[in-house]
Amino acid sequence: MSIITNITRMWLTRTIKPFTFNNEYDEILNYDNCENLGLYVHIPFCTSICNFCPYCKTLYLKERCNNYIDSLLDEINLVGSMSKNKKTVTSLYFGGGTPVLAIRRLKEIITVIKKYFIITDGIGIELHPNNVNVKILKILKNAGVTKISIGIQSFQKKYQDILGRKRINIHALSNALNKIKFQTVSMDFIFALPNQQYDDLKNDIEIAFSHGANHIAIYPFIDFTFTSSKVSAVKKRKKRKLLDKITNYCLNMGYSRNSIWTFSTEKGVDYSSMTRDNFIGFGCSAATLLNDSFKINTFSVDAYCDRVKNNKIPTSLTIRFTERQRMIYYLFWAFYSTKVDSRDFESFFGVPLNKMYGNELKLANLLGLVKEEKGVYTLTLKGAFYYHYYENFYTLSYIDKMWSIMRKEDFPSKIKLK
C-alpha cells in the first residue's frame, strides 16, 4: 500500500519531493484575500484522558486553563489586528480537549473574535456527553453557539468498555436537548471497532436521531502509534462492508450525506471545521491553511503561552505549497464532502480542473470511483470507500508521524513526509 500511495502522491503533485514542513513562521498572516475562510479555536484541557484520542490535550487545572485563555485572547488580538478591516468568515468552531471546561470565558473569546471577524454560518463547539445538561446548554446558547457536536462514540456498553468510556444517560441527554434547541445537534460515533456489527451501528444511529440529533458523524477507528489504546484495527474487507452497509442504510432512510462519514436528517444541517478553502486556527496545535501555505501551532501549552507573550505567532511548522500540492490539498478536502465542483476549482486556482487533472478524473470515472454531471464530480459508494482507505493510510503515514514528533518537540527543525 505504501508504494501505491507514494506513487499516487508523486504523480498527482508532479514531483518526487516530499511534503516538507520547516520551523518557520510569518510575522504577518496574509488572509485578507482568502475566500471561504473559517476559524477554529483549540481548548486542550480534559478532566481525564481517553486512551484512544490522538488530539492535543492535557489535564485540566483551573489556573493553567485561565492563563491559557489569556494567551489565546492575545493571539486572537495579534492575528486579528493584521487586517485593516473586519474579515467575513464562514464559521467558528471550538474543539479540544473539552472546550466546555473554559465555558465561563467562552463569551469573552467570541466577543474578541467578533471584534475582527464577521461570522456568517454560525458557531460550533464539541461537547462530552457529560456536558449536555440544561445549565451548560443555556450558557452556550447565550454565548452565541448555534451548533454542538457530542462525542458519544457508542451507546453500546460493550464498546464503551473497550474505549474506556462511562455510561451515557440517554434520557437526561435527550431531555436537555429538547429544552435548549440548536441549529445543528451532531453526535459522533466510532466504527470499525473489534467485533462491531452493522446492527450495533444502526442501533446507535437510531438512538441518536430519536433522542435529539439531526446530524451524525461515523468516524473510523484509527490506531495511532502514540496513543495508549490497545484496540486493534479492523481489516479492510470488513471495514468496507460495514461502511457500505451503514451508508446504504442512511441513504435508504432518506438522510442527506454531507461528507464521507456524516449524515443529517435534512439538507443544510452540517458540522465540519475542516471543509473550508482556507482557515485560521487559534490555540496550541491549531492549524492554519492559507492560499499558499499550511501552518501548525506548537503542541505545548507552555511554549504556546510563552511565544504569544513575546508578541509572536505561535507557529511551530510551516509548509509552502507548490501549486500542485495546494491543488491536491484542495481536492482531498473537497472530495471529503463527496463532491468537487469544477467551477469552484477554477474560481480558486484560475485554471480549469480538466486541464490539471482531466486524465485522472477520466480514469476515476472508468474505475467507477466518481460520476460526473454538469462539471460536478461525485464519489460513488466504491469511491467513498477508497477515499476513506487512502485517508486512513495518509493519516497514519503523515499525521501520525507529525503529531508524534510535535508531542515531544515544541518547535521541530524540520519534518519530511514522504
Quick check: is 8 in a domain? no
Quick check: is 314 in a domain? no
One-letter identity of residue 383: G
Residue 145: partners with Cβ closer than 8 Å, 6 or more residues away: 106, 123, 124, 125, 182
CATH number, domain containing residue 170? 3.20.20.70
Quick check: is 98 in a domain? yes
In DSSP notation, 203-214 reads HHHHHHHHTT-S
- CA 298, CA 16: separation in Å to the nearest integer? 28
pLDDT tens for 357-399 read: 999 999 999 999 999 999 999 999 999 988 887 887 777 778 8
Quick check: is 39 in a domain? yes
Q: Is it the case that residue 86 has pLDDT exceeding 70?
A: yes
CA torsion through residues 381, 186, 183, 278, sign: negative
The pLDDT assigned to 5 comes to 66
Q: How many structural domains does the chain have?
A: 1
pLDDT mean over 34-54: 92
Instruction: Tell me the pLDDT band of 222, cut-offs 50, 70 and 90.
Output: confident
Which range has highest mean pLDDT (24-28, 116-120, 239-243)? Answer: 116-120
Question: What does pTM read for this prediction?
Answer: 0.94
Quick check: is 298 in a domain? no
The pLDDT assigned to 131 comes to 94
Mean pLDDT of the chain, nearest integer = 93
The pLDDT assigned to 2 comes to 62
Q: Is it the case that residue 1 has pLDDT exceeding 60?
A: no
Quick check: is 374 in a domain? no
Quick check: is 356 in a domain? no
The pLDDT assigned to 386 comes to 87
The pLDDT assigned to 275 comes to 73
Quick check: is 164 in a domain? yes
Specify whether the backbone of 97 is left (phi greater than 0), alpha (psi in -120 to 50) or beta: left
Phi, psi (degrees; rounded to nearest 5) at 62: -55, -50
pLDDT mean over 302-309: 97
- CA 106, CA 100: separation in Å to the nearest integer? 8
| % of residues, the chain, pLDDT over 70 | 99
Domain, as residue range, for 78: 34-264
Helices (H), ranges, 144-285: 157-163, 170-179, 198-210, 236-252
Query: How many angstroms separate the first and last alpha carbons of the chain?
Result: 13
Instruction: Tell me the pLDDT band of 120, cut-offs 50, 70 and 90.
Output: very high
2 or 412, higher pLDDT = 412
Cell numbers at 88, concatenated = 467575513
